[in-house]
């Protein structure tokens, strides 16, 4: 009778080693811009970039670019109940906090109606506005920002 559990243990062991052997994946020599990595390997996350801390607004590169955020935003909540960004950037508080007011486009719905408060499509600020970090471009490019917006 005691042989039955032993039998199951051996069978489980054989199946497991077989499955592990099958999971070895051939990456086919592919390499991403973040380096080579095999599909069955979980790489450690990249370390966080150092975000610029409290700077004057940064010149925009082209007309209609969402300006980049010149300050830390870590821990600023934006959800159904509250929007930390609007505590400073709304028209109501901008004067006392010294933050740039959100522009009129942020009150417009997608059918061109102007609302009396921020439009839902402009509510989640970090969907378009990102913090600026001193990071080298991953891909070389020849883009030149327009001079009329304050770039040298």
Please check whether residue 43 is in contact with residue 126, taking contact to mean a CB–CB distance below 8 angstroms: no
**Residue among 100, 96, 98 nearest 67 (CA):** 100
How many other β-carbons are positioned within 10 Å of the β-carbon of residue 106? 19
109 binds ligand HEC (CB under 6 A): no
Query: Shortest approach of ligand HEC to residue 19 CB, angstroms?
Result: 45
85 burial class (0-12, 13-18, 19+ CB within 10 angstroms)? buried
Among 2, 43, 64, 144, binds ligand HEC (CB under 6 A): 64
Query: Counting every residue, how long is the chain?
Result: 152
- In the bound complex, what is the minimum distance in angstroms from residue 152's beta carbon to ligand HEC? 17
10, 17, 39, 66: which one binds ligand HEC (CB under 6 A): 66
| By the rule CB under 6 A, 124 interacts with ligand HEC | yes
Instruction: Report if residue 70 touches ligand HEC, rule: CB under 6 A.
Output: yes
How far is the C-alpha of 89 from the C-alpha of 120, rounded, in Å?
16
Q: Does 38 bind ligand HEC (CB under 6 A)?
A: no
**Interacting residues toward ligand HEC by CB under 6 A:** 56-57, 64, 66-67, 69-71, 73, 76, 83-89, 97-100, 102-103, 105-106, 118, 122-129
């Amino acid at each position: 009778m005691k042989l039955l559990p032993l039998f199951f243990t051996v069978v489980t062991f054989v199946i497991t080693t077989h499955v592990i052997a099958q999971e070895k994946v051939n990456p086919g020599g592919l390499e991403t811009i973040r380096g080579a990595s095999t599909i069955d390997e979980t790489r450690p996350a990249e370390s966080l970039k150092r975000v610029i801390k409290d700077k004057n607004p940064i010149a925009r590169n082209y007309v209609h670019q969402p300006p980049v955020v010149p300050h830390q935003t870590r821990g600023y909540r934006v959800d159904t109940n509250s929007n930390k960004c609007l505590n400073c950037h709304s028209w109501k508080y901008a004067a006392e906090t010294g933050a740039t007011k959100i522009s009129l486009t942020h009150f417009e719905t997608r059918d061109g109606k102007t609302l009396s408060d921020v439009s839902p499509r402009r509510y989640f600020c970090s969907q378009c506005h990102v913090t600026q970090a001193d990071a080298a471009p991953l891909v070389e490019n020849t883009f030149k920002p327009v001079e009329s917006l304050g770039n040298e």
